[in-house]
Amino acid sequence: METDNKNGGRPDVDIAALRQATSEGHTPRFWRSLDELAGTPEFRDHAENEFPHGANDLGAALDRRELLKVMAASAAFAGLTGCTKLPTQKIVPYVRQPEQIIPGKPLFYATAVTLDGVATGVLVESHMARPTKVEGNPDHPGSLGASDAFAQAAVLGLYDPDRSEAGIHDGRIGSWAEFQNELSAALAEEKGSSGAGLRLLTPTITSPSLAAQIGVFLKGFPSAKWHQYEPVGRDNVREGAKIAFGEYVNTVYRVDRAEVILTLDSDLLTSGPGCVRYAREFSRKRRVENVESKMNRLYAVESRPTSTGGMADHRLRMRASEIESFVRTLAKQLGVAVAAGPAISSSVPPEWIPALARDLQQHAGASLVVAGDHQPAIVHAMVHAINHTLGNFDKTVYFTQPIEESPINQWQSMGELADDIRSGKVTTLLILGGNPVYDAPADLGFSEILPKVEFSVRLGLYEDETSALCHWHLPQAHFLESWGDAKAYDGTITLIQPLIAPLYGGKSELDFLALLNGQAGKTAHDIVREFWQAKQVGVPRFDAFWEKALRDGVMADTAFPSKPVVLKSGIGAETPAAFPQGLEIIFRPDPTVWDGRFANNGWLQELPKPLTKLTWDSVAMLSPKTAQRLGIKSEDAVELKYQGRTIVAPAWVMPGHADECVSVFLGYGRTRAGRVGTGTGFDAGWIRPYATPWIGRGLEIRKTGHKWALAATQTHNTMEGRDLVRVATLDEYRKKPEFAQADVEKNPLSLYPDVKYEGYAWGMALDLNACTGCGACVVACQAENNIAVVGKTEVLIGREMHWIRIDRYYEGNLDDPHTVHEPVLCMHCEDAPCEVVCPVAATVHSSEGLNEMIYNRCVGTRYCSNNCPYKVRRFNFRLYSDWETPSLFGMRNPNVSVRSRGVMEKCSYCVQRINAVKIEAEKQDRSVRDGEIVTACQQSCPSEAIFFGDINDPNSRVSKVKAKNLNYRLLEELNTRPRTTYQARLRNPNPEIEKAAAV
C-alpha cells in the first residue's frame, strides 16, 4: 500500500468506496438519473406505462437522499424566505504567483484533437489552469477556426468522473512501479526469443515522434509485430489507392475549386479527415450574395441519409452494394473502360446518369467525385480513374504520401493478430488505447482469446471491456493532459500540448513507450521536443521555432506536397460477382458516439443525431417502403439475425433511406463504458462479421412484439405548410429575388413608437444555405454556457436543455424527401412576448436589444415559455446541473451561472463574451470592432452559417448579410420582430434532371 501512495497510486479504500458508491447508486442525482436509463427493460416499461415519468419517482421517493431532501424542503417551507446572509468564504491566494496567470482572465493554448489519428487543431480556453472550452484553431488547415462536435465535447471527456483513476492488476489496484517490475520481467523473457511472442496493438498512428519511439522499441525485438486497428478504419480508401496507383497515398480534396461534386455514399462534409475544412470550402462555394452569384452543385448517391446528402441539389438513394454498379455505369458514360456491374435494383431515373455525366464533363477540371470511406476498394479505384479522366488531378483532388506513419491493411493485420493469439503464438500483448474486446469484429472472438495471452497490458482512458480481460489496466492520460504530435488531413504537423497535469496520474502513449524503451527519466515533452530538434537541423534558433510552433499549434508549411501518381490501366476491368440475394445490412459509425469511444460522454449522448434527432440510442434504420413491407414501425424492438448472430434493436423508419436495406450504427451497447454509456442502445458490432464489416446481404429481421422507446428531440417532421424555411432554386431566386421577403410588412404595425437603440444593437443572422445540421454549435453552446445533461427519461418527456437546436424538416414525398435544417435559438425579439408576462421581471430587454434572462430573479412560473412562439426557452424541471461531482466543477465556465432547479434559461447571445469584449474596448477607450465578439455557436460552425454583430453599424458583417434580399424573419406575421434572422435556403439543381422529373 505504501508503495502505492509513494508512486502516486490511490489507496485501496478510495477505489473500494468509489466502486461501492457506483454499485449502490449513491451517486449524484445527475448520474443516477442516467443510471435509471441503463436497463433497457425499463425503457420497455416506459413505452407501455401510460404515465412513464411518474413511475420512477415513487421508487426514488423512498430512498435516503430523497428523504433528506423532503425534510430539507419542509425546512425551506418554514422560513427560507427573506434571509440574504451570505456564508463566510475563504480567499486562498498563491504562495508564489505563477507567470501569466491573472485571476479572472482566461488563457488560450493551441493543441489538437485527434480522431482515428487525424489531428484537428484547436485552441483551448483555460481558467486558472482549468481547461473549460475547446475552440477551433484559425491557423490550422484542418480547422480554419471551426471544429466538430467531438472536439467541443472533449472537455467533458477530460473531467469525466468515470475515467480510470488507477492501474488495475487482475482486479486489484496496481501501481506503476509494480507494473514496471512485471513489465521488465516479461520483456526480459521476450528478449530471449527476440520478441517472437511480443505484439503491440495501437490505433492508427500519424505521430512522427510516437512512430519513432515504436521504431526504437521494435528494434529491440526484431521478431515482435506491431498491429494497428481502427473499428472505423479507412482500409478501403488505402487499398483503393493501391489498386489505382500501386501504392498507398493520402487523398486530399480541394472542395473550394469544385463546381460540381458527386459524393458516393460519402459524408464528405461532416465526417472523415478534413471534413471541417471541406464543409467551409463547400459553403463558401455556395454563398449567394446577389442574383449574379454562382453556386456549386452537389450530387449525392447514398444508402442512408447523411448530412451531406441533406445538402445535395440532387440526391439518389441506392443500396450501398449497388453503388459499385452505379460507378461502373457512370465511368462508362465518361469513357473510362470498366466492366459493367450487375443491374441496379434501386430505381434510377433514366436521365439521371447521362445528365450527371454531362455536367461533370462540362466542368472537367472543376468537378470532383468522392467515394465514401466504407465503399469497397474497387469503387475508390474507379473513382480515382474517373477523376483522372475528368482532369481533376491536382485541381480538385491531389495526392500526397500517406499521413499514417505506417500505412497497412489494418483489418488484415487485426485478423493476423487474432490468429496468432488463437494459435498461442502471442505471449505478451501491449494494447495502447483502442478497445478491441468491444469493437473488434465479433467473429474474431477477442473476448475468448484475449485471456490466452500470458501477459496482456492495456493502456486506456477507461477501465472498459478490454481492460477487464487484460492482466494489467493502466490509466491513460487524456490528450488535454499530454504532450504529443500528429498530422492533419493534409499532413501538416500539429503539436499537442497539455492544458493540465494528469488528473489521475495517467500516462500518454509517448510516456508509455518511454517506459517500454526504459527511458525512465524522459518526459513526453522531452521526447517530442528532441525528436523535432533532431529533424530541424537546418533551423538556426530552434527555441524560437519551437515556441512559435507551440503558440500556433502547427508547424508552418509542413503540409505534404502534392505527389505525382501514375494511374494503373485496366482498373475495374474484371466483371464483378453478382450480388447475393436478401436484405442488405450496412454498418456505420454512430454520428455522435463514433465507434463507442464517446459512449460515456453525456454531451454527445444527448446531442440529437443529425437528421434523426435521436438521443441516447442507436437504431436499425430502414426506409418507409421496406418498413411497410415488413410491417415494422419506428420504436418496434426488432431482432436482427446476420450470419448466425442475433441482436435486438429498435427500428427507425427513415425517410430517404434506400429500400431493402437496414443501416445499423456502431458504438452503442457498451457493457463497461461508465455510468453514462453502459447499457445505452444495442451493440451492432455483435453481428458485424470480419468478412463484411461494412456492407453485407442476407440479413433476417423479425419483430419481437416489444416496444423500445426512443428519445427524439423532434417528433413532428413536416412544416404543416407554414412558411418556416423558405426554399427556392437558384433560377427561381434569379427570377424573383424577393421571394424570401414576399410577405414582409415593410413598417410593422405597432401602437407604440419604435425603441431607438443608441450605441450597440446586437443581432444575428443564420444562413440556411450553409447549415449542414452537424450539431457542433449545440455542443459548443453546451460547453460555453454550462448547460446540463438531463438523460433519456427527461428527453423522452420533452425536457432537453439545449439553448440552440437544429430543427429538421422534410419536404416532398416520404420515400425521398428534401431535407432542410433550421438552427433555432433565442430570437431576441424586439417585442418579446416572454417579457410582458413574467410576473417578477426576470426576463427583460436590454438597452442593446438583448432579451435578458435573469436566473436569480426567476421564480419559475414557465409563463414566458408558454408565450414564446419559438419555444427556445428551457426550464430546470428538476435539479439537472450536477452540484455534487467535484471533477465536473473544474469544467464549468466561471463566467456563466450554473442554473439550479426551478429556473428558466435560454440563449443569451453569449452575453458573457459580449461584456468581456465591451469592457476591454471601454478600457482602451474605443468601440467594439466588428467580428471582435464571436458567440460560441458561431465560433464552432464549420460552414460559417452563423453571423453575429452590431446591426446599428451598417458596415458590420451581420448587417451586410441581413441586408441581402434572402433575409427573412421566422414567424414574421406575429410581429415579434426578432433580432435573429434567416437567409433563405437555395438549391442549384441540374435543369435537365429537373425538367425530366417535372414531366
Partner 1 sequence: MADSPTDKLTEQRQPVPILGPGHDYASVTDKISAIVLTRKTPKWWILGFAGAFALVMLLLYAITYLFAVGVGIWGIQIPVGWGFAIINFVWWIGIGHAGTLISAILLLLRQQWRTSINRFAEAMTLFAVACAGIFPLIHMGRPWLAYWMFPYPDTMKMWPNFRSPLVWDVFAVSTYATVSLLFWFVGLLPDLATLRDRAKNRPAKIIYGILAMGWRGSAVHWYRHETASLLLAGLATPLVLSVHTVVSFDFAFTIVPGWHSTIFPPYFVAGAIYAGFAMVLTLSIPVRKLFGLEDFITMRHLDNMGKVLLATGLIVGYGYMMEAFFAYYSGSQYERYMMLNRMGGRYAVVYWCLVACNIVTPQFLWSRKVRASVGGLFAIAMVVNVGMWLERFVIVVTSLHRDFLPSSWGMYYPTRWDIATFVGTIGLFLALLFLFIRFLPLISIFEMRSLVNEEDKKAAE
Partner 2 sequence: MSQIFHHSTNTIARVSIYGAVVLIALLGYAMDVANNSPYVTEVNNARTQPVPFSHKHHVGELGLDCRYCHTSVEVSSSAGMPATETCMACHSQIWTSAAMLEPVRASYRDSKPISWTRVNAVPDFVYFNHSIHVAKGVGCTTCHGPIGEMNITWRAQTLYMRWCLECHNAPENYLRPRSEVFNAFYQPPGNQLVLGRQLMKEYKVQKLTNCTTCHR
Binding site for partner 2 (CB under 8 A): 82-86, 88-97, 102-105, 844, 846-848, 850, 852, 854-857, 895-897, 908, 911-912, 915, 919, 922-923, 925
Nearer to partner 2, 96 or 746 (CB): 96
Residue 400 contacts residue 250 (beta carbons within 8 Å): yes
Residues numbered 829-858 forming contacts with partner 1, rule: CB under 8 A? 833, 836-841, 857-858
> Which CB, 83 or 577, lies closer to partner 2?
83
- Which amino acid makes up residue 271? S
Whole-angstrom distance, CA of residue 475 vs CA of residue 496: 19
- All 3 cell numbers of residue 250? 493520402
Site track for partner 1 across 973-992, x = CB under 8 A: xx------------------
Please, which residue, 59 or 335, has the CB nearer to partner 1? 59
| Mode of pairing for the β-strands spanning 614-615 and 805-811 | unpaired
CB of 807 to partner 1, least distance (A): 4
Return the one option of partner 1, partner 2, none that residue 879 interacts with (CB less than 5 to 8 A, by type). Answer: partner 1
From the list partner 2, partner 1, none, which binds 718 (C-beta under 5 to 8 Å, kind-based)? partner 1
Count the Cβ atoms, other than its own, within 10 Å of residue 866: 12
| Contact partner, 912, from partner 1, partner 2, none, Cβ < 5-8 Å per class | partner 2
Task: Decide: is 750 part of the binding site for partner 1 (CB under 8 A).
Answer: no
> What is the number of alpha carbons within 13 Å of residue 196 lying toward its C-beta?
4
Closest CA to 396 of 241, 296, 252, 282: 252
Nearer to partner 2, 452 or 857 (CB): 857
The SS3 assignment for 802 reads coil
Judged by CB under 8 A, the residue of 60, 196, 630, 996 near partner 1 is: 60
Q: Which does 557 bind (CB under 5 to 8 A by kind): partner 1, partner 2, none?
A: none
If contact means CB under 5 to 8 A according to the sort of partner, which of partner 2, partner 1, none does residue 633 touch?
A: none
Considering the complex, state which of residue 607 and residue 832 has its C-beta at the smaller distance from partner 2: 832
Could you tell me which residues come within 8 angstroms of residue 409 by beta carbon, excluding any fewer than 6 positions away?
235, 238, 239
For residue 647, what is the enclosing H or E element? strand 645-653
Provide the minimum distance between the beta carbon of 92 and partner 2 in the complex, in angstroms, as a whole number. 5
The answer to whether the CB of 370 falls within 8 A of the CB of 387 is: no
Q: What does 76 interact with, of partner 2, partner 1, none (CB < 5 to 8 A by kind)? A: partner 1
> Rounded to whole angstroms, how far apart are CA atoms 356 and 995?
14
- CB nearer to partner 2: give 54 or 82: 82
Cβ closest to partner 1, residue 702 vs residue 871: 871
Q: Does 904 bind partner 1 (CB under 8 A)?
A: yes
Q: Helical H runs in 199-314?
A: 208-220, 235-245, 275-284, 307-311
Write out the binding residues for partner 1, residues 324-343 only, by CB under 8 A.
none
839 binds, among partner 2, partner 1, none (CB under 5 to 8 A by kind): partner 1
**Which of the listed partners (partner 1, partner 2, none) does 127 bind, with a CB threshold of 5 to 8 Å by partner kind?**
none
Segment 511 to 530, residues that bind partner 1, using CB under 8 A: none
Q: Which of 504, 760, 762, 870 binds partner 1 (CB under 8 A)?
A: 870
- Residue 597 makes CB contacts below 8 A (sequence gap 6+) with 435, 667
Using CA atoms, how far apart are residues 410 and 204, in angstroms rounded to an integer?
A: 8
919 binds, among partner 1, partner 2, none (CB under 5 to 8 A by kind): partner 2
Stretch that binds partner 1, among 40-48, 151-159, 672-680, 717-725 (CB under 8 A): 717-725
- Annotate 375-427 with DSSP letters as a single string: S-HHHHHHHHHHHHHTT-BTTTEEEES-SSSS---HHHHHHHHHHHHHTT--S
Nearer to partner 2, 371 or 829 (CB): 829
The distance in angstroms from the start CA to the end CA of the chain is: 81
CB of 793 to partner 1, least distance (A): 10
Asked if 32 touches partner 1 (CB under 8 A), the answer is: no
Question: Which residues are paired to 967 by β-bridges?
Answer: 983
Is 710 among the residues that bind partner 1 (CB under 8 A)? Answer: no
The distance of closest approach from Cβ of residue 104 to partner 2 in the complex, given in angstroms and rounded to an integer, is: 4
CA atoms of 447 and 438, how far apart (whole Å): 8
- Residue 467: CB atoms within 10 A of its CB come to 25
Q: Which of partner 2, partner 1, none lies near 862, with the C-beta cut-off 5 to 8 A by kind?
A: partner 1
Residue 805 interacts with, from partner 2, partner 1, none (CB under 5-8 Å by kind): partner 1
Q: Could you say whether residue 76 binds partner 1 (CB under 8 A)?
A: yes
Task: Say which entry of partner 2, partner 1, none residue 172 contacts (CB below 5 to 8 A, set by partner kind).
Answer: none
Nine-digit cell string for 317: 438513394
Residues 6 or more apart in contact with residue 167 via CB below 8 angstroms:
9, 173, 174, 175, 176, 178, 179, 472, 473, 474, 475
Site string for partner 1, 720-739 (x = CB under 8 A): xxx-x---------------
Residues numbered 225-254 forming contacts with partner 1, rule: CB under 8 A: none
Task: Report in angstroms how near the CB of residue 835 gets to partner 2 at its nearest.
Answer: 11
Coil, strand or helix: which one is 316?
Answer: strand
Instruction: Answer yes or no: are the C-beta atoms of 646 and 299 closer than 8 Å.
Output: no
User: Looking at 130-138, 277-285, 876-884, 937-945, which segment touches partner 1 (CB under 8 A)?
Assistant: 876-884
Dihedral sign computed on CA atoms, order 114, 115, 121, 123: negative
Whole-number Å distance between alpha carbons of 282 and 298: 9
Instruction: Yes or no: say if 506 and 477 are a contact pair by the CB < 8 Å rule.
Output: yes
Identify what 92 binds: partner 1, partner 2, none; CB under 5 to 8 Å per kind.
partner 2
Find out whether 178 and 459 touch, Cβ atoms under 8 Å.
no
Q: Which of positions 806-825 make contact with partner 1 (CB under 8 A)?
A: 807-809, 822, 824
Q: How far is the CB of 892 from partner 1 (least distance, A)?
A: 21
Nearer residue to partner 1 within complex by CB, 219 or 862: 862
* Range 302-324 burial, b when 16+ CB lie within 10 A, else e: bbbbbbbbbbbbbbbbbbbbbbb
Q: How far is the CB of 796 from partner 1 (least distance, A)?
A: 10
Shortest gap between Cβ of 36 and partner 1 (angstroms)?
Answer: 13
CB of 806 to partner 2, least distance (A): 24
CA distances 967 to 322, 578, 737, Å, are: 41, 51, 11
Q: Which stretch binds partner 1 (CB under 8 A): 442-450, 473-481, 485-493, 795-803?
A: 795-803
Provide the residue type at 861 as one letter: T
21 binds, among partner 1, partner 2, none (CB under 5 to 8 A by kind): none
**Which one of residues 51, 501, 758, 926 is an interface residue with partner 1 (CB under 8 A)?**
51
What are the distances in angstroms from CA 101 to CA 98, 105, 106, 261?
6, 7, 8, 48
Binding to partner 1, residues 765-794 (CB under 8 A)? 794
CA dist 89 and 928 (Å) reads 36
Pair 801, 787: CB distance under 8 Å: yes
Q: State in angstroms the smallest separation of the CB of 432 from partner 1.
A: 43
β-partners of residue 981 are 765
Cβ closest to partner 1, residue 51 vs residue 94: 51
Which of 122, 421, 827, 903 is close enough to bind partner 1 by CB under 8 A? 903
Q: Indicate whether 877 belongs to the interface with partner 1 (CB under 8 A).
A: yes
- Sequence-separated (6 or more) residues with CB below 8 Å from residue 63: none
| Eight-class DSSP state of 729 | E
365 with 396: CB under 8 angstroms? yes
The span from the CA of 731 to the CA of 728, in Å, is: 8
What residue 60 binds from partner 2, partner 1, none (CB within 5 to 8 A, per partner kind)? Answer: partner 1
Q: Any contact of residue 716 with partner 1 (CB under 8 A)?
A: yes
Count the residues of the shown chain that bind partner 1, applying the rule CB under 8 A: 75
Cα(355)–Cα(357) distance, integer angstroms: 5
